[in-house]
Amino acid sequence: MNITDKSPAVLVTGGSGGLGLVIARTFLAAGYRVVIAGRDATRLEAAKTSLGHDRYVATACCDVTEKQGAEHAIQTAVSQFSRLDVLVNCVGTSDRGLAENLTLERLDELIRQNVHTALLCSIAAIPQLEIREGVIVNIGSLAGKVGARYLGGYVTAKHALAGLTQQMRLELKPRGIHVGLVNPGPI
* Residue among 32, 56, 150, 154 flagged as catalytic: 154
In the chain, the amino acid numbered 29 is: A
154 tagged catalytic:
yes
Q: Could you list the active site residues?
A: 154
